[in-house]
Structure 1
Amino acid sequence: MSRRRSIRWVLFVLFVVVPLLELYVLIQVGQVIGAWWTILLLVLDSILGTWLIRREGSRALAALRTALETGRMPARELADGGLLLIGGTLMLSPGFVTDVFGILLILPFTRPVFRRVLTRVVAARLIVTATGPSAQRGPDAQRPGPGSEGPVVRGEVVDDP
């Protein structure tokens, strides 16, 4: 039940708090530098984000190809790709707050911090899944075939010539 509450809380923050915060910041910036300068700053911010996504996306794709060609598991490269995707999505929404978070996810020197956070979140989800109700029944709970209480027929395999 607490997991459902936390999802509701996250959705509330994403769909209510973040847009209100964006609106507040846009109004404050507009009052300080003017409406047209605010719009120009948002356009320049989008251009910078597009350039960053292209540059870092091509680097991440090259690193992914290298990892696959060398036979290495591309965990880091896949995490970087996911962070770039989230950062690019944040850059699509108009506003300074989401753009700042998007740029932080995209920049190569701040991405390792978020990669560690992503790794912890995924690891925590995997541990919760592994210790869930189905895992508590034991390792033989999902094993097909007769259980320990079923009949055991002993025999040998004979090849027919």
Structure 2
Amino acid sequence: MTPEPTPRARAHAGTTRRRSTTMKVLLAVVLLLPLLEIVALIMVGKAIGVLWTIALLIAMAVLGTWLAKRETGRTYRALQTALGSGKMPTDEMTDAILVMVGGFLLILPGFLTDILALVLILPFTRPAARRLLQTVVAAKALGVTRGGATRGSGPRPGPQRPPGHGQVIEGEIVSEDGPPSSWGRQDGPRSLD
């Protein structure tokens, strides 16, 4: 008779299944993308001619490179401003990642990657891509913390307790300075009750 797996072991097994599914999808995209790009190039070549297709590819590469360089500078300045003001630069960091991925996609020849790159780089389409990326990352982070399993981790030794059901230690906080309203008075330490 096999013992019942712990909740942590079940969460780890679910994470492993999700990871293998993600890898299969990523592999399919990597294999299908060149085929889809070739089909798109052939269709555009038949519609407008080979020379115009090559000219359009070159024009997209030049325009995309200029746009990526410009948006990289803007993103860097926005990131520096956010860091200088003490603000958490979440949006600025996400924008930097999107511009970097978009710049990489512009290097790849083809119309489909260029269209995706423009969506990631253009300032008026990037907010939608930013929200999507932040939502996906937040969902993954919550899945890892709620599931309790991370890559390479197994069940921890010792008794397993659900989150939020740990040992409670009661105590009293005593401030030597007292509450802020008494800072002007000199009558010693006070309880915060």
CA distance in 1 between partners of 2:26 and 2:98 (Å) = 18
Confirm whether residue 68 of structure 1 aligns to residue 68 of structure 2: no
Query: TM-score, normalization: structure 2?
Result: 0.68
| Alignment match, 1:94 | 109
1:42 to 40, 57, 76: 57
| Alignment match, 1:19 | 34
| Alignment match, 1:9 | 25
Question: Aligned-pair distance for 1:17?
Answer: 1.6
Indicate how the Cα distance of structure 1 residues 138 and 106 shifts in structure 2: closer, same or farther if over 3 A, else same.
farther
- Give the gaps of 5 or more residues in structure 2: 1-16, 168-193
Q: Look at both structures and tell me which one has the larger radius of gyration over its CA atoms.
A: 2
Following TM superposition, the consecutive aligned residue runs of length 4 or more in structure 1 with deviations greater than 2 angstroms are 132-140
CA distance in 1 between partners of 2:87 and 2:36 (Å) = 42
Question: Aligned-pair distance for 1:139?
Answer: 8.4
Q: How many residues are matched? A: 140
CA distance in 1 between partners of 2:42 and 2:59 (Å) = 18
Query: Whose RCO is larger (CA < 8 A, sep 6+)?
Result: 2
1:60-89 deviation per Cα after TM superposition (whole angstroms, max 9, x unaligned): 010001011111111110000000011111
Indicate how the Cα distance of structure 1 residues 27 and 77 shifts in structure 2: closer, same or farther if over 3 A, else same.
same
1:51 to 61, 66, 82: 66
1:112-127 alignment, distance < 5 Å: 112-127=127-142
Query: TM-score, normalization: structure 1?
Result: 0.80
Question: Aligned-pair distance for 1:9?
Answer: 1.8
Question: Which structure's residues are more often helix, by fraction?
Answer: 1
Question: Aligned-pair distance for 1:134?
Answer: 4.8
1:31-86 deviation per Cα after TM superposition (whole angstroms, max 9, x unaligned): 12111111111000001101111111111010001011111111110000000011
CA distance in 1 between partners of 2:56 and 2:92 (Å) = 32
CA distance in 1 between partners of 2:113 and 2:148 (Å) = 38
CA distance in 1 between partners of 2:149 and 2:101 (Å) = 32
Could you say what secondary structure the match of 1:94 adopts? Answer: coil
